[in-house]
Amino acid sequence: MKYNKDDKAGITPIGDAIRNLLNSYQLESKYDEARVIASWERLVGEPIAKRTKKVFIKRGVLFVEFKTASMKNDFLLHKSKVIELFQQEFGKGVVTDIAII
């Protein structure tokens, strides 16, 4: 059987296929959580990332532990902007809030 490059019936883009696979095994939320954690430094910048002890996400809340109290206070001033950055990158449902621990 010859493949006609103009005939796209039955062909699924690889991104859609992976997303469907993750959905079928109920892993999509874990995948999104891993992407958020991996993107922490890129989205908040190296200076903030270097002052971060721990970052994890649970049920849409991103938990962040900083090395110093002054960094916690500084971050609180910009918390809403950081939430916006994550929502622009991953959609509104992935990161709904940030908790400073």
- Report pLDDT digits (tens) over 59-73: 889 999 999 999 999
Architecture (CATH level 2) of domain 14-100: 2-Layer Sandwich (3.30)
Measured in whole angstroms, how far is the alpha carbon of residue 2 from the centre of its chain?
A: 41
- The answer to whether the CB of 100 falls within 8 A of the CB of 75 is yes
Distances (CA, A) of 55 to 25, 49, 67: 25, 10, 12
pLDDT reported for residue 32: 77
pLDDT reported for residue 22: 65
- Residue 61 pairs in a beta bridge with 58, 97
pLDDT reported for residue 85: 94
Q: What percent of the chain has pLDDT over 90?
A: 55
For range 45-56, the mean pLDDT: 94
Indicate the domain borders of the chain. Answer: 14-100
